[in-house]
Structure 1
Amino acid sequence: MRISSAEEREFLEGVFTAYSFSNEDSALLADTLVDADLRGIASHGIQRLAWYIRMIKEGTIQPQNKVKVLKETPTSLLVDANKNMGQIASAFAMKNLIKKTKQVGLSMAVIRNSNHFGTAGYYSRMAVAEGLIGIATTNTRPLVAPTNATQAFLGSNAFAFTFPASPHPFVFDGATSVVSGGKIQVLAKNNKPLPGDWAIDGERNVIHDAQAAEDILAKVAFTEHQTGGGVLTLGGNSEKNSNYKGFGNSLIIELLTGILAQGSISADTNTGEHDFSQFFLTLDPAVFGDLETFATNATAMFTRIRGLEHTPGTQIMIPGDREYKNYHENLQQGVLLDEKSAAEIKEIAQELEITVPKFK
């Protein structure tokens, strides 16, 4: 079924307002989820709502808390998200970095005491909309088993990078694991198998049962009980396929987030503090030359790549192509929604006594 993005936005704003977020914060939170759904990233869209509400009720997310700036220089920010939603502190940090970078050419921010922040690309696209290069990263709950390990330790640790180009910016936004936990969650909700070698059990055997994988992730990500299994690093289950490179990429994100923020590493976010950390960087390419020339040259490279010979029935797509295509189509047709998420939405609406959005 589908729901119009306008209906989704109005409903989400009503839900967040009902849970004591300010009107401004409610609008931001709704926008991040609607944006993910429009781009076809259902794992980070409205299907996350029931999960967010559970964390609000548990006190992991504290809507009334305000973002704090702990330390600031002309080129940096250290921000305390103060246990509120990660989107709020992240948008605050990126807006301030854009101002700084336009003045000095480069700036960075680290956020501590945060929560899930949606899609990393949402923030790096804020930078590229202003003609800047943007980088956004986060650690997460422990979901990913390092090379040769049988237990999860790392987060899925998303990384996003944007660069000016036409007809839309280059946007790479992805986990440093083979898949985000949210995609497994969506498949489990809909009783579908894992289509690739994404997850392992406690003996490091690949599993394709999405619900079994989700059960494993729930144990390692939301309880202090150490159990086996998890998501694989980029490169899959074997060192022969260079999965140590994915392991290394994930460790870099851990260093830039949990370690640099002096917060929890992913392995420890399921105990005690439940705190995530984020890292952002913005760079003005104009410090190296003409912005239009950079964008033109990048566009020319992407055009050549898209035009390479390819296997029949396939298409060569640059990171960002699929998401921008989805965005325009879903804006017209409405956002796809699975039946279980639709049922959750109806339950939330009834509990809060607000209007249930219309489904097509």
Structure 2
Amino acid sequence: MSRHVALGELHRFAADALRAVGMSVEHAGWTADGLVWADAHDLPAHGVSSKLVQCVARVRAGGTDATAPVVPVLERPAYAVLDACDGWGQVAGTDAMRRAVAKAGALGVGAVSVRRTSSAAAMGYYADLAASAGMLGIAVTNGPPLVAAPGGTRRVVSNMGHAVAAPAGEHGRVLYDTATTTMSTGQMDLHRERGEELPEGVLRDAQGEPTRDPSLWSTGLLEPIGGHRGFGLSIALELLTGVLAGGERFGDEVGLPTRHDETQGVSLMMIAVAPAEGVDLAARAQELVDRVVASGPDARTPGLRAVTAAARAEWEGVPYGDEQLERLASLADELDVAPPGVTSPAAR
């Protein structure tokens, strides 16, 4: 039976753990914000019980630098390039989107590339930062190669996490947060943890044969959405991230986050667009959602489940299973910080 952890308690624990491995108060807070956002939006693979543990392991093993600065490489009125110096992705991603929002506030649009960072987790979080400022936000990341070209048998490009978000009035947000494969690696890990087989058609093994074994994703080939179209989208988004950012690595050179002692060389692109004068972005997005909902009894917009989960988590907290809580208790003991407090369903 799952128990619940309040969002504030999750944030406190995550920030304490990150400060314990050397992050500054500000950067620990930014990272905790992103981790808790993921948990609240029902994205546990990017939340506290998964990504926090991974971040701490990478810092301790030397693959990620907890104290790395985010250094401007190029500064133009509407565009910038940042070097994350092998720091944590959520620090660089937050910095980049904040800069993009500031540029959009002055010029109508802002775009910021990031080179040389580690995994930045859920792209929806960064797009949502722009939406919270009344803008349309776009966030894209590359990553380790997971997808082969049509007719190929070697992984050459990532599944390219990407997100678009906008304020939507009474509906809160329109939030599109996805990747270019039929299933994400985080979802595959959840299947593995639960002892479940994968659905058919989402993964091939290293020899190119279909498999339902979720433990094989790190060496196998993820199936792109829409066949060659999904692969083409991956290439387009790699141009927008790794190629444009100008870092040492892109495409099949980006490292796995699970190799804790190795740097990754991830690249990001954060874009914010301020609506033109006289355009009520939130009202128009709300109308768009209304039209979709009215189109059929089961019709819904992207991100509805996640936005609904976040609203519920505000008062109920995040449901955590025993294995997740044990993982965090062990981490708390290792770092000498207080574990997150829990509330049983019967006590609410």
Could you tell me the TM-score, scaled by structure 1's length? Answer: 0.87
Kindly indicate whether the alpha-carbon contact (under 8 Å) linking 2:118 and 2:263 is maintained by their aligned counterparts in 1: no
**What is the aligned partner in structure 2 of residue 225 from structure 1?**
none
Q: Does 1:324 align with 2:307?
A: yes
**What is the aligned partner in structure 2 of residue 34 from structure 1?**
36
Kindly indicate whether the alpha-carbon contact (under 8 Å) linking 1:136 and 1:280 is maintained by their aligned counterparts in 2: yes
Instruction: From the superposition, tell whether residues 273 and 4 of structure 1 become closer, same or farther in structure 2 (CA, over 3 Å).
Output: closer
Correspondent of 2:205 among 196, 201, 206? 201
**What is the aligned partner in structure 2 of residue 4 from structure 1?**
6
3-state SS, counterpart of residue 280 of structure 1: strand
Q: CA deviation at 1:196?
A: 5.0
Kindly indicate whether the alpha-carbon contact (under 8 Å) linking 1:131 and 1:291 is maintained by their aligned counterparts in 2: no
**What is the aligned partner in structure 2 of residue 73 from structure 1?**
76
Distance in 1 of aligned mates of 2:51 and 2:244: 27
**What is the aligned partner in structure 1 of residue 221 from structure 2?**
230
**What is the aligned partner in structure 2 of residue 259 from structure 1?**
243
Comparing 3-12 and 294-303, the one that deviates more: 294-303
Distance in 2 of aligned mates of 1:5 and 1:132: 25
Kindly indicate whether the alpha-carbon contact (under 8 Å) linking 2:173 and 2:307 is maintained by their aligned counterparts in 1: no
How many residues are matched? 333
Residues 133-152 of structure 1 show CA distances to partners (whole Å, capped at 9, x for unaligned) of 11110101122233333332
**What is the aligned partner in structure 1 of residue 165 from structure 2?**
162
Distance in 2 of aligned mates of 1:118 and 1:202: 25
Q: CA deviation at 1:33?
A: 0.7
**What is the aligned partner in structure 1 of residue 259 from structure 2?**
none
Residues 175-230 of structure 1 show CA distances to partners (whole Å, capped at 9, x for unaligned) of 1122221111122122122245321112333222223x3xx41xx4xxxxxxxx22
Kindly indicate whether the alpha-carbon contact (under 8 Å) linking 1:137 and 1:278 is maintained by their aligned counterparts in 2: yes
Q: Which amino acid aligns with 1:87?
A: Q
**What is the aligned partner in structure 2 of residue 25 from structure 1?**
27
**What is the aligned partner in structure 2 of residue 223 from structure 1?**
none
**Identical counterparts, % of pairs:** 25
3-state SS, counterpart of residue 285 of structure 1: coil
Distance in 2 of aligned mates of 1:265 and 1:341: 33
Distance in 2 of aligned mates of 1:344 and 1:230: 29
3-state SS, counterpart of residue 148 of structure 1: coil
Instruction: From the superposition, tell whether residues 261 and 124 of structure 1 become closer, same or farther in structure 2 (CA, over 3 Å).
Output: same
Kindly indicate whether the alpha-carbon contact (under 8 Å) linking 2:242 and 2:267 is maintained by their aligned counterparts in 1: yes
Q: Which contiguous aligned blocks of 4+ residues in structure 1 show a shift greater than 6 angstroms?
A: none
**Larger relative contact order, structure 1 or 2 (CA cutoff 8 Å, min sep 6):** 2
Q: Which amino acid aligns with 1:175?
A: A
Task: Provide the aligned C-alpha RMSD in A.
Answer: 1.8
Q: Which amino acid aligns with 2:229?
A: K
Kindly indicate whether the alpha-carbon contact (under 8 Å) linking 1:143 and 1:181 is maintained by their aligned counterparts in 2: no
Distance in 2 of aligned mates of 1:154 and 1:274: 14
Distance in 2 of aligned mates of 1:352 and 1:44: 21
Distance in 1 of aligned mates of 2:317 and 2:129: 24
Q: CA deviation at 1:104?
A: 1.1
Q: Which amino acid aligns with 1:316?
A: A
Structure 2 gap segments, 5+ residues each: 257-261
Q: Does 1:290 align with 2:290?
A: no
Q: CA deviation at 1:273?
A: 5.0
Kindly indicate whether the alpha-carbon contact (under 8 Å) linking 2:64 and 2:263 is maintained by their aligned counterparts in 1: no
**What is the aligned partner in structure 2 of residue 238 from structure 1?**
none
Q: CA deviation at 1:249?
A: 0.7
Residues 25-52 of structure 1 show CA distances to partners (whole Å, capped at 9, x for unaligned) of 1111111111100011111111222222
Kindly indicate whether the alpha-carbon contact (under 8 Å) linking 1:190 and 1:338 is maintained by their aligned counterparts in 2: no
Distance in 2 of aligned mates of 1:351 and 1:197: 40
Q: Does 1:344 align with 2:330?
A: no
